[in-house]
Amino acid sequence: MNYKIAVIPGDGIGPEIVGASTKVLDKIGEKFNHSFDYTEVLAGGVAIDACDTPLPQETIDICKASDAVLLGALGGPKWDNLPGDKRPEAGLLGIRKALGLYANLRPAILYEELKASCPLKPEIVGDELDLMVVRELTGGIYFGEKGQDGDNAAWDVMKYTRPEVLRIARKAFEIAMKRHKKVTNVDKANVLGVSRFWRSIVLEVAKDFPEVELNHLYVDNAAMQLVINPKQFDVIVTSNLFGDILSDEASMITGSIGMLPSASLSDGKFGMYEPIHGSAPDIAGQDIANPIATIISVAMMLRFSLDLTEEADLIEAAVKKTLSQGYRTADIYSEGMKKVGTVEMGQRIIENL
Amino acid sequence: MNYKIAVIPGDGIGPEIVGASTKVLDKIGEKFNHSFDYTEVLAGGVAIDACDTPLPQETIDICKASDAVLLGALGGPKWDNLPGDKRPEAGLLGIRKALGLYANLRPAILYEELKASCPLKPEIVGDELDLMVVRELTGGIYFGEKGQDGDNAAWDVMKYTRPEVLRIARKAFEIAMKRHKKVTNVDKANVLGVSRFWRSIVLEVAKDFPEVELNHLYVDNAAMQLVINPKQFDVIVTSNLFGDILSDEASMITGSIGMLPSASLSDGKFGMYEPIHGSAPDIAGQDIANPIATIISVAMMLRFSLDLTEEADLIEAAVKKTLSQGYRTADIYSEGMKKVGTVEMGQRIIENL
Ligand SMILES: CC(C)[C@H](C(=O)O)[C@@H](O)C(=O)O
Ligand SMILES: CC(C)[C@H](C(=O)O)[C@@H](O)C(=O)O
């Protein structure tokens, strides 16, 4: 089969980690007789520099004409002082919206091999930690009206519509059905009207999934529970802003942020895949970034957008094997391990495929 | 001297922890020749039951006529299904607004004696953890316009005005001047207009405090940093919603949530003091709740509203001594310690005054 992949290397370490990941994909292609056609497109800071916009129309068009999108990372201090709608982040939000990627799946997994770098005490994380944050990605305060009254005041509107909540809630329950059948809805229904509205629709959707256990937490409580009792969670479903905060917190408690992938899905099979971590401009171009989160994002892409389950499993197994052989990039290095750079980590994983 | 204290025991464990705390205050009065006149008033669930409103006007009037307010905790499942403006939480938000309590100070301190219950690894917390979240409390999305369009959509507006940001930023810098002279501003300026507005005013205020080091974190990053590197923080200043989330997370990483007080201040000396934890209805009336957070809130009251520094120091020293003698309520109990109830914990602390 022939698959069209739009590739957005982006800024900072983006080109390096994407480079390592497409090599892994090429090897999969060779082994399984698929061909992956990459089209590189611009977004974020590099697009601002080249085309004076963080999201050229061509990028949107090519992504839409592809089977899936692989993204490195966007942004950096160079572009931080531009006005809001001209920043790299505007490109990221723009592409999520333009491609209708309303469901952001962010698994937080503790890798056995990296337990040493987990900030929580062993008795809290136990043997395993595996939760999934399902974050609404194209609505809420990220895309609400904004306004400013000169120097006097400024505001953003946190709004959700019924169809927006229905589809993300459904997605969360569907995912829970394939996992441990537990959904935790996180909102701030004791204060926000939009949260009460959101919760009422989650309750409605829950009726179609009687096998799934549903509970509700206020966002402040959820931020606490992630630290003291993360094992209670299977699937967390929440709004764009709360999901931004909680998924970062969740990834951090695993101690594996350099390892965690994400998928942003629309209806149907189409999706965009990217590591959870950022563009890390301070270490860009030095062959030290950890490519594993991006490589596992490629595995997620094979699984969710291309239906290539066996291929996805193989990549994940190769990553684990490479870790168990002791290879580590600097961010996950601990004494006694073998320190490798971005390129070598990619090669070791390819050898283990 | 004679001090007027409005007391709001509230719901759940509220009456028990407040009861233990006013006894401590009485003892201080005896020792130092002050008299504290308490006026008990209703708010939250008990007010709903008695007066059909979570915040009777009389409560506001009496609080305003007092030197300070001591609050236990509000809310419980019994009132959770009431409409938004009739819930106990509406009483809490209402009283904050009515009394102009715009600055919420939430210290997160790791108690040496309770290190065992800290969820983070020892190498992360080190010997000490002592940070202060300064949360804006009477603005932002908590008090913005809300709206609903039938079954179709609902929204809340996150808005800040210039005077609102000016005064909370100033408060944070003033507090930092008395601590380690470092302020971390937390916002979401890469996405929200209101955050960019907020940040610009923080930068303006910073000019008046050249000795204070200022840095900025996006809220998602702050949620991560609290877990992996909490020692970087001295004072965190942030908006109402972000402060709600981050202060709970911060209190949890200390493992001392049953121990942490809070102060909500207006301009001048007036303030309301309450524990950070909630009303814990599941353990109410059983003499097992930990009164320490409320007792330390009383110490904060003496310090901030009544200028009784020596008295405040004495209470804090008595708490530490009681802990070092091995007395523990159930929530902070560990093997080898002496388990005591709410009343006895209060008495032990009084004996150590
Ligand atoms: C860069 C930023 C706009 C973005 C977000 O807030 O969504 C990032 O934090 C993320 O989570 O992907
Ligand atoms: C009970 C709730 C309304 C309140 C808040 O969100 O402010 C609480 O979480 C707090 O932090 O004091």
Alpha-carbon distances of A250 from A106, A303, A319, B230, rounded to whole Å: 9, 23, 21, 16
Chain B: residue whose CA lies nearest to A250:
B224
**Residue B103, beta-bridge partner list:** B136, B265
pLDDT at A29 (0 to 100): 97
Centre a 10 Å sphere on the Cβ of residue B131 and count the other Cβ atoms it contains: 25
Centre a 10 Å sphere on the Cβ of residue A138 and count the other Cβ atoms it contains: 22
User: What's the CATH superfamily of B126-259?
Assistant: Isopropylmalate Dehydrogenase (3.40.718.10)
Question: What's the pLDDT band for A241 if we cut at 50, 70, 90?
Answer: very high
**B 162-181 → A contacts, CB under 8 A:** 162
**Residue B187, beta-bridge partner list:** B218
pLDDT tens-digit profile of B1-26? Answer: 899 999 999 999 999 999 999 999 99
User: What is the Å distance from ligand 2's center to A221 Cα?
Assistant: 10
Q: Are A262 and A274 in contact (CB under 8 A)?
A: yes
C-beta atoms of B228 and A190 within 8 A: no
CA angle A85–A90–A95, rounded 5-degree value:
135
Contacts of B348 (CB under 8 A, 6+ apart): B322, B325, B327, B340
**Domain assignments of chain B as residue spans, ordered by start:** 1-99+270-353, 126-259
C-beta atoms of A257 and B224 within 8 A: yes
pLDDT tens-digit profile of A5-56? Answer: 999 999 999 999 999 999 999 999 999 999 999 999 999 999 999 999 999 9
B73: three-class secondary structure by DSSP: strand
Catalytic positions of A, written as ranges = 142, 188, 220, 244, 248
Which CATH fold would you assign to the domain B1-99+270-353?
A: Isopropylmalate Dehydrogenase (3.40.718)
pLDDT tens-digit profile of B87-100? Answer: 999 999 999 999 99
Average pLDDT score over residue span A75-93: 89
Identical topology for domains B1-99+270-353 and B126-259:
yes
Q: Determine contact: B116 vs chain A, CB below 8 A.
A: no
Residue pairs between chains A and B whose CB atoms are closer than 8 Å = 164
- Amino acid identity, position B200: S
Cα distance between residue A290 and residue A297, in whole Å: 13
**B 236-295 → A contacts, CB under 8 A:** 241, 244-249, 251-253, 257
Separation in Å, CA of A126 to nearest CA in chain B? 12
- Is A190 annotated for ligand binding? no
Look at residue B116 and tell me whether its pLDDT is greater than 90: no
**B 306-345 → A contacts, CB under 8 A:** none
Q: Which of A158-172, A318-332, B66-80, B247-261 has the lowest mean pLDDT?
A: B247-261
Q: To which H or E segment does residue A236 belong? A: strand A235-238
- Is A290 annotated for ligand binding? yes
Burial of A316 (0-12, 13-18, 19+ CB in 10 A): middle
Cα distance between residue B295 and residue B274, in whole Å: 9
pLDDT at B80 (0 to 100): 84
Cα distance between residue B160 and residue A270, in whole Å: 39
pLDDT at B183 (0 to 100): 98
Chain B: residue whose CA lies nearest to A142:
B191
Chain B: residue whose CA lies nearest to A166:
B152
Q: Which CATH number fits domain A107-260: 3.10.180.10, 3.30.420.40, 3.40.710.10, 3.40.718.10?
A: 3.40.718.10
pLDDT at B63 (0 to 100): 98
Q: Determine contact: B156 vs chain A, CB below 8 A.
A: yes
Q: Are B177 and B208 in contact (CB under 8 A)?
A: no
Cα distance between residue A257 and residue A110, in whole Å: 10
Alpha-carbon distances of B21 from A21, B284, B303, rounded to whole Å: 60, 16, 15
Average pLDDT score over residue span B306-315: 97
Look at residue B82 and tell me whether its pLDDT is greater than 90: no
